[in-house]
Amino acid sequence: MRAVWRVLRLGASARWRVAAAVALGAAAAATAVALAGTSAWLIVRAAEHPPVLHLMVAIVAVRAFGIGRGVLRYVERLLTHDAAFRVLGALRVRVVGQAERLLPGCRRLFGEGDLLARFVGEVDGLADLWVRVLVPGLAATTVGVGAVAGLTGLLPVGGLVLAVTLVLAGVVVPLAGARLARAAGRDAQPARARYQEHLLALVDGARELEVYGALDRRLDALAADDDALAGMERRSAWTAGLASAVAVLAAGGGALVALWASAGALERGSLDGAGLAVVVLVPLAVHEVVALWVPVAAQLPALAASSRRLVEVLDAADPTPVPAAPMVVPDGALAVTARHLTLGWPGAAPLLEDLSFHVPAGGRAAITGPSGTGKSTLAATLLGFVPAVEGALLLVADDGSAVAPTMADSASLHRAVGWCEQDPHVFDSTVAANLRLARPDASDEALRAALQTVRLGDWLAGLPDGLATMVGEHGRALSGGERQRLALARVLLSGARVVVIDEPTEHVDDATATVLLDDLLRALAGRTVIVITHRRDLIEHRVEQVVDVGAMSAPPSQLA
């Protein structure tokens, strides 16, 4: 419940819209109750054959209530939904902002299939907290309390009976139902995430699974996941039906008791016939309003679970908190110095220990070592994604001032340090948009020139829409090598003074790699370049120093 409150508070900006929606919702529900009450009063009074004029007020009121309800409901629903969407926008921005801080350093916090459910499904689903829980709940409560007060004025026992049945149908039963459903809801969410993850794995690996004859086995396993999920949903089916059944019992039973009690009051003379009809029939209308609560309560456990997961992401500790006094990375050329540096991902064992080197401004160095020794962690540390475990990694300006990436002002850091990933992410957008990430104001000419430099000029010429060509999800329309080069073009455009290149010769044949490395290093002349690679043979004659971080370096003699 605490998580639900946290999420509700995130929507504080829409509180006046929510308040207005509650007021309108309560008025609409009150109109329905009043229609039932005045009709009952009118019928019993009319049966006493009074002059018609005595009934005029009631007749006009009945007609007005008949019209008012629909109009009030309409405005209320629009307001509620509008408020919910505004809150949702704020929520999404918060969540993406959190991903910005956490994801580069803490990939494990965000699962693969789970991630989608969390960001799209669950955040969107939380709109129901406002639309289905908060507004109708508060509106129904207001009308319920008002009706109990009104009936108590007519016949105290009538008010008491209504209060008891309302609490039973509107509070006790939903709470009990929620308790029953909670276990099911808790079980179902992981099963659902598992199903989704397995489905995505099945699609990702479909071709290999098919070749290895494992596709049918995997589909059967997925069907078993599905059975588990369906079984959980079936088990909660009877509980949901039970809640509304008790609500019907409470409403009918209440009318029954009210009739019995008011008959006695009529005999004693403390209630007239019209009052009796009101006391018996109004509670039925109030129960119809409160019945909105029953489906809401069934949803609460799932919403609470989503809220908890959201809060978990919102509360996760930042591995690289924004420094209290961020230091601006100085303009001009930068050197990179490592002193007794130990590196590792947060929450995992250190990968590289006691590493020391110095790359002077404008110099170029290679970090080499066998696969899997954690060379890429060096890139992440230099980019400020993860803090150094021990020792220091510093950007050093000409005047000798030094800044650790995690202590730097982020905007100036991103201008200073550029990165070409080992597995570059290509966004599902145009070629131009993918390049302009690095420099939003770059001209088309600049983009073409960058592509030319990474030898994608011919590729660009062959594209149907040139720079405006869409590249698919995960850069699906690109081959591995093209993807790598596009990422290199991005780095060239960024204008960074220190550039880290992670495995640039991946997916490219040696002849092309040789040309590419020469082109790249020429294009990056004057900048400080650190190339991370396991191919010492390709890089060692092109850089001024090689830092070997692995015990088993690749002896150049292996070159054919």
Partner 1 sequence: MTPIDPRLLRAGRGTAGLLAAGTVLALASALLVVAQAWLLATGISRVIERGGPAGLAPLLGALVVVVAARSALGWAHESVARRAATSVKSTLRVRLARRAAADAVAGVGGRRADLAALASTGLDAIDPYYTRYLPQLVLAAVVPPVVILQLFRTDVPAALTVVLTLPLIPLFMVLVGKATEAANAKRWDALQRLGHHFLDVVEGMPTLRAFGRGRVQAELVGASTERYRTTTMATLRIAFLSSLVLELLATLSVALVAVGVGLRLVDGGLGLQAGLLAILLAPEASAPLRQVGAQYHASAAGVAVADSMFAVLDGPPAPSGDAAAAVPAGPLTLRVQRLSVAHDGRPRPAPDGLTFHAEPGRVTCLSGPSGVGKSTAVAVLLGHVRPTAGTASVVTGGGTEEVGRLDRTEWAGCIAWVAQDPFVAAGTVADNVRLSRPDATDDEVGDALARAGLALPGDRPVLARGTDLSAGERRRLAMARALLRRAPVLLLDEPTAGLDAASEAHVLEAVRAEAARGATVVMVAHRPEALAIADAVVEVR
99-128: contacts with partner 1 (CB under 8 A): 99-100, 103-104, 107-108, 110-113, 115-117, 119-121, 124-125
Work out how close the CB of 175 gets to partner 1 at its nearest, in angstroms, rounded to a whole number.
Answer: 18
Instruction: Give the distance from CA 19 to its chain's centroid.
Output: 26
Number of H helices, E strands in the chain: 21, 11
41-70 residues near partner 1, rule: CB under 8 A: 42-47, 49-50, 52, 55, 58-59, 62-63, 65-67, 69-70
- Residue 393 phi/psi, 5-degree rounding, is -120, 120
In terms of Cα–Cα distance, which of 37, 42, 69, 40 is closest to 56? 42
**Contacts (CB under 8 A) with partner 1, residues 422-451:** 422-425, 427-428, 437-438
**Closest CB to partner 1 among residues 205, 323:** 205
Q: Phi, psi (5° rounding) for residue 368? A: -120, 160
546 is a site residue for partner 1 (CB under 8 A): no
CA distance 69 to 52: 26
> For partner 1, which residue of 5, 190, 260, 312 counts as binding (CB under 8 A)?
260
Residue from 12, 96, 175, 322 touching partner 1 (CB under 8 A): that is 96
Query: Cβ of residue 311: shortest distance to partner 1, in angstroms?
Result: 18
DSSP annotation of 356 reads E
Question: Which of 226, 353, 390, 548: binder of partner 1 (CB under 8 A)?
Answer: 226
- Choose one: 175-183, 276-284, 349-357, 399-407; the region binding partner 1 (CB under 8 A): 276-284
Shortest Å, Cβ 312 to partner 1: 16
Residue of 8, 147, 185, 195 interacting with partner 1 (CB under 8 A): 195
Q: Which of residues 330-369 bind partner 1 (CB under 8 A)?
A: 369
- Which of residues 237, 328, 392, 468 is near partner 1 by CB under 8 A? 237
Angle at 477 between CA 476 and CA 482, to 5 degrees: 95
Q: How many residues bind partner 1 (CB under 8 A)?
A: 173
469 binds partner 1 (CB under 8 A): yes
**Alpha-carbon gap, residue 262 to 276, rounded angstroms:** 6
Rule CB under 8 A: is residue 71 a binding residue for partner 1? Answer: yes
Nearer to partner 1 among residue 2 and residue 179 (C-beta): 179
In the stretch 3-32, what mask flags binding to partner 1 with x, by CB under 8 A?
A: -----------------------------x
d(CA 422, CA 420): 7
Question: Nearest approach, Cβ of 69 to partner 1 (angstroms)?
Answer: 5
* ∠ Cα 109 113 119 (to 5°): 70
- Of 548, 481, 546, 490, which Cα lies nearest the Cα of 515? 481
Complete DSSP assignment for 157-210: HHHHHHHHHHHIIIIIHHHHHHHHHHHHHHHHHHHHHHHHHHHHHHHHTHHHHH
**Nearest CA among 107, 306, 59, 317 for reference residue 192:** 306
Nearer to partner 1, 153 or 241 (CB): 241
Residues between 499 and 538 that touch partner 1 (CB under 8 A): 503, 506-510, 512-513, 534-537
